[in-house]
Structure 1
Amino acid sequence: MTDESRGVEAAGPPWSVDLLADLHSGVLDDGEATRLRVRVEADPEAQAILEALDATAADLAAWGSASAPPLPDAVAARIDAALVHEAQEMFGTAPVVDIAMARRRRNRRLGWLSGAVAVAAATVAAVVILVPKGTTTGGNPVAEAPPQAGQAAPLAVRGDHPEAAVGHLSTGVKDYGPLGGPERLSSCLQAAGLAANANPIGVSPGTVDGRQAVLVLLTTGWLAEFRLIAFTPSCGQGGSGVLLDKVVGK
């Protein structure tokens, strides 16, 4: 049993996986986390466990943004047959069945199931990855026009509060917006002095202090630290196009 009067001083080394997981997820108080972080940085075994937790968080984020695999033809045929049987039971024998309508009903059901799986994966990733505290801004609230139906609210970031974007980007969203795809983003990263093959945790269009941007969240190699970079839509074309480049979470 851990000696609560001594805190982390009595916990190791070797450090328990539960304690390192608490440090990684940010549930320890600030003083205890600072003391523990200084000690585990000199422990290769503890660092290996923290790196494994980082890799798990990244895998979960990627899983949450992955597209659902195509439905096998044999399964689709069985679903179509079941829908036809359902229509016969409802309307009697020898009905005129609209197969296209039946398939639309099937696709709606499959779409709901895929969406539920994606939401569950994103929720697990958000629990594992630390979202920095203190993102509340001062001043009076300003009313904003609600987004149109079926349209997600844009990701608006203030230059003095960049950590507000981490919660959204850490779910693994990969929306390249005006950049079009990962190839163009690689050019922007290279123009900004980063490795072209860097693998972002999340990418999303938005604004920085009202200016249109594409926000990119990268790991730093340090526990609970992330690098947030905001590019202009014209980045990589004769200039880096960097609007914002800050480390958050430290």
Structure 2
Amino acid sequence: MATDTVPQPPYSTELLADLHAGNMPDHLSRRLWPQVRRDPDAMRYLHALDRVNTDLHALGRDERIIHPMPLEVTARLDHLIDDLAAATASDQNERTATVHRIHPDRAPAATAPMPALSAFDTGQLSAADIEGSGFDNHEFDTDSSEFDAGSEFDDTVREPATWSGPLRWITAAAAAIAVIAGTLVAVDAVRSREATPVAAPAPIELSTELPPTDVLTAMGRNDVTGPLATREALSGCLTAAGLDRAILGSRNVTFAGQAAVLVLLTGPQAPQITAVVVDTACGPSDPRLLARADIG
């Protein structure tokens, strides 16, 4: 009788992201967690995902942020969630993506510390489990105020709910960063629909400080016009500038009073994102990098 095999190190970032989100079969998750906890590289990646989730939730509650997310970005994220939910419901045999919605008031951190006794685990994490892993024991202290061993951990699978507001885009942004950290996965959830021609959006005025609120409007887009409109031309420009990375999005902008192109790339370290602004005349033999910033 065939038996399921448990993945062995080194673990892929896609597998770790699914495990972190509780998106794996129960029997495999129970066997995988103890092994992952003993792998320093895997733990570093899981802690990075936790920090992203924590930072995003903190930003959503920070009253000092005076610039709300642009309505255009909110609408795009809402549309993405709705399309993915519709695609999953209509075709169970072809899995395009999974979006996890966790209520911020009852969502336990998966790795800081990870739930020691849940449907995804087999027992308490001992000091031997993390010996030599490069992490301090206090990171897994189950007596800390961040974790209550007697608290209820809800593993119930529920039907997707229709949510709106900040929680929707916070969850979508965290899920997107988790995928970007490992590999760029192109998802065409509406490939059966006939594309409707739309006018190219007007370039935004981008500050020289590259504020994340404006920069992230390029995520998932590819509506550049002019000399850098093709992926080959844009890739040639970026390679000449020493930025041969996966492109996450691009759009036309006005930067320091001149026409330019904003491009989002995978960052130097997961789960960072690198934002660059290049001149429209940038090319393989003439890199014209105007600005650069790492986000995350």
Alignment TM-score > 0.5, same fold: no
TM-score for both structures, normalised by structure 2: 0.39
Q: Name which one, 1 or 2, has greater alpha-carbon Rg.
A: 1
Higher helix share goes to which structure? 1
Q: What TM-score comes out, normalization by structure 1 length?
A: 0.45
